[in-house]
């Protein structure tokens, strides 16, 4: 029997057919864990589509629409629960071209996130020196013993302990029990005038005094979720500062001409970079007796004023205060930056 000659076939076509057969015989399992940013839903769909296609499974338009619906639901649940949230996309592809997937929301509290820092990172977690801006403001008083300080979100006590060593009576507020224990133990060891308050001062102010001359929130507002929380800072300062007292905090502000959308705000919250506009800042302080007397770039101020060898305070600090944890790129192109903001309460103390 005569064998018919082989018709001309494109080698690339043959190779594609072989690859399809290879993929069909593969047994695939995998998992994607990614921060929850609901407004970036299209990126999640594209990520899954690319990964699934990489193991030989192409979703139809209908299947992608179903995937999008599932992702949207879990992203919303995760982000609503906490800014320290993520979704876990598990998938498996048994022999054949059928791919099964499951999407699950996960989250943790801010306190547990910082507990994880303590357990997994080498100290110092936030640097060894007090913030130059805080130190400069405190240094304007000749008698620190009469210049009581409230340090909200004191962390491991970087500012609290340095100010207490200078002679300031300091109340340190910290929600994370591990951090509060560190401050308490170190203050006792050095016999410093420090009172540690563990808890959320924005829930109740009964443990606070009304004669503070300086209130500090360093790297705290970057964990906020709403402008109302920022308003709460000014309301607390109004209750607790003496006339003429000062409030200092750092916050990520949008540069002129940039208006952050939902995706930018949500991603920012996931990377300790809550974004506010100048208008929101003014609204938060509105009708309260405060005047903005200082507005400086954190990057520039700390770089210029920290002691020799102390810049940057940590390996991640310079990029973070420049907004690059949310906007990967160059510092000059970041639409946000962290600013030191100093407000003075009306009157004289």
78 and 21 together in one domain:
yes
When pLDDT is cut at 50, 70 and 90, the band that residue 13 belongs to is confident
d(CA 347, CA 320): 36
Nearest to residue 336, comparing CAs of 290, 267, 285, 233?
Answer: 267
DSSP state of 102: E
Q: In CATH, what number is assigned to the domain containing residue 91?
A: 3.30.470
- Of how many residues is the chain composed? 349
231 and 304 together in one domain:
yes
d(CA 314, CA 96): 49
281 and 319 together in one domain:
yes
Looking at the 3D structure of the chain, how many domains does it have?
2
d(CA 79, CA 326): 16
CB 33 within 8 A of CB 51: no
324-337 pLDDT, tens digit each? 999 999 999 999 99
pLDDT, residue 140, reads 96
pTM of the shown model: 0.91
pLDDT, residue 348, reads 81
d(CA 83, CA 80): 8
The parent domain of residue 65 ranges over: 11-107
Q: What DSSP string describes 124-173?
A: PSS-SSPPHHHHHHHTT-S-GGG--EEEET-TTTHHHHHHHHHT--EEEE
d(CA 263, CA 37): 7
d(CA 89, CA 18): 29
172 and 294 together in one domain:
yes
Q: Compare 312 and 3 and report the one with higher pLDDT.
A: 312
d(CA 274, CA 227): 10
The residue-averaged pLDDT of 154-179 equals 96
The residue-averaged pLDDT of 310-331 equals 97
Q: Does residue 23 register a pLDDT over 80?
A: no
Instruction: Determine, yes or no, domain membership for 84.
Output: yes
The structure tokens listed for 305 are 């004023």
CB 246 within 8 A of CB 213: yes
- Report the percent of the chain where pLDDT is more than 70: 98
189 and 76 together in one domain:
no
pLDDT, residue 243, reads 98
CB 67 within 8 A of CB 47: no
318 and 185 together in one domain:
yes
Q: In CATH, what number is assigned to the domain containing residue 199?
A: 3.40.50.150
215-248 pLDDT, tens digit each? 999 999 999 999 999 999 999 999 999 999 999 9
């Amino acid at each position: 029997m005569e064998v018919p000659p082989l018709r001309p076939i494109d080698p690339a076509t043959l190779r594609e057919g072989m690859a399809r057969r290879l993929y069909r015989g593969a047994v695939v399992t995998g998992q994607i864990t990614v921060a929850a940013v609901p407004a970036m839903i299209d990126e999640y769909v594209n990520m899954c589509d690319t990964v699934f296609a990489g193991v030989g499974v192409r979703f139809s338009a209908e299947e992608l629409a179903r995937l999008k619906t599932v992702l949207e639901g879990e992203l919303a649940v995760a982000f609503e629960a906490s800014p320290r949230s993520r979704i876990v996309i598990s998938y498996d592809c048994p022999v054949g071209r059928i791919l099964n997937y499951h999407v699950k929301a996960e989250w943790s509290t801010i306190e547990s996130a910082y507990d994880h820092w303590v357990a997994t990172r080498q100290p110092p977690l936030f640097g060894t020196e007090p913030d130059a801006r805080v130190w400069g403001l405190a240094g304007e008083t000749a008698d620190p013993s009469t210049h009581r300080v409230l340090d909200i979100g004191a962390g491991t006590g970087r500012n609290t302990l340095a100010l207490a060593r200078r002679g300031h009576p300091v109340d340190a507020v910290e929600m994370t029990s591990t951090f509060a224990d560190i401050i308490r133990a170190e203050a006792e060891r050095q016999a410093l005038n420090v009172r540690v308050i563990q808890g959320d001062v924005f829930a109740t102010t009964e443990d606070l005094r009304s004669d503070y001359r300086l209130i500090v929130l360093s790297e705290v507002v970057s964990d906020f979720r709403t402008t109302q929380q920022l308003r709460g800072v000014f309301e607390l300062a109004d209750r607790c500062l003496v006339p003429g007292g000062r409030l200092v905090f750092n916050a990520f502000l949008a540069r002129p001409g940039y208006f952050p959308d939902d995706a930018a705000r949500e991603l920012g919250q996931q990377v300790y970079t809550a974004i506010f506009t100048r208008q929101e800042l003014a609204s938060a302080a509105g009708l309260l007796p405060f005047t903005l007397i200082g507005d400086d770039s954190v990057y520039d101020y700390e770089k210029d004023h920290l002691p020799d060898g102390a810049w940057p305070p940590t390996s991640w600090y310079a990029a973070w205060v420049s907004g690059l944890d949310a906007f990967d790129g160059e510092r000059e192109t970041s639409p946000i930056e962290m600013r030191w903001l100093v407000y003075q309460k009306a009157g004289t103390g």
